[in-house]
Amino acid sequence: MARYSLTAQESYFGRTSGQNLYLHEKISCVDISGIRPAKGKCFGLLAYACDEGVKRNQGRVGAQEAPQAIRKQLGKLPNSLEAETRVLDVGTVTCINGELEESQNVLGEKVRLLLEAGIFPIILGGGHDIAYGTYHGIRKHFSSSKSIGIINFDAHFDLRSNTNGNTSGTPFYQIAKDCEKLDDTFQYLCLGVREDANDRVLFQTAKELEVKYILRDTFRIEFHNEINAWINAFIANVDVVYVTIDLDGFSSAYAPGVSAPSPMGFTPDVVLESLKTIINSGKLCALDIAELNPVYDIDDQTARLAASLLHTLMHSI
């Protein structure tokens, strides 16, 4: 099995209009190595087929199948993008032989290539270890010239120590330690944190690293004005923003097919409202989506949620 592979055009399908009315008629599958600089708006869909981090984190595996499940649902959705906007599927990074760290390195390099070509990266995961790879692709592209703010929609901080290796629960701790080595400021905002999903050590780590967060009790649509104010305040202190969406942050009523489900999660409306605020800042440079587990999905509900979130993103930028 190859660590990087191309996507078959047949991965995207749906109603055929002959008028590009559906995304499967808009998306082109290409080799990332042959990408040329974009002349206009362009989105690059890059898959991360890996659940080794989830396995190491003692979660239920199956997230490696997520990219194909998202592609299946995304292609069916209507296309209202401008004719000149391009949507490219640039292939899949696959974790082989449990080599998580190498997969993260390869992912980071692919993200860098997309950014350097002026293409907006949308990465389809995969476990939340995806975040370490995505971030480093962004950091490689911007070097030390830009400050990077991370906004994570998640029930979990994912700040576990990686002393015993990287997992889906360690990416932001790893990033924090890398920032420390580079004398860079760790800028991290976590939205939807649940007190029943993080132990006291994680809350202490968040405090020590000066992590900003909004608890699930407050991350509700009725508080959207206050939430948007906090998001804008965070964005004002950074040059670019990277968004990562962990689907297990949603209530299992909306996202049953995830690695760590809970009925106590947040709702799609508050995430969509928050995304609108982030996009309107003009600073969003990349987005990934993590922890879909098709093995446990019900009627493709979680995959549909992921696809709808990406549809909103592409039609809002």
Residue 158 among known ligand-binding residues: yes
Token output for 180: 């420390």
Whether 178 has a binding-site annotation, put simply, is no
Rounded Cα–Cα distance for residues 289 and 122 (Å): 8
Beta bridge partners of 120: 43
> Nearest to residue 149, comparing CAs of 239, 245, 281, 233?
239
Is 300 annotated as belonging to a binding site? no
Q: Is 248 annotated as a binding residue?
A: yes
CA distance 217 to 309: 22
What does the alpha-carbon distance between residue 193 and residue 215 come to, in Å, rounded to a whole number? 5
Q: Is the dihedral of CA 290, 101, 95, 114 positive or negative?
A: positive
Was 288 annotated as part of a binding site? no
Q: How far apart are CA 81 and CA 24, in angstroms?
A: 12
Query: Is residue 141 annotated as involved in ligand binding?
Result: no
The Cα-based distances of 15 to 70, 302, 312 in angstroms read 17, 21, 20
28 and 38 in contact (C-beta within 8 Å)?
no
**93: amino acid identity, one letter:** V
Distance CA 248, CA 296 (A): 12
Numbered residues of the known binding site: 128, 154, 156, 158, 246, 248
Binding residues for Mn(2+), by number, are 128, 154, 156, 158, 246, 248
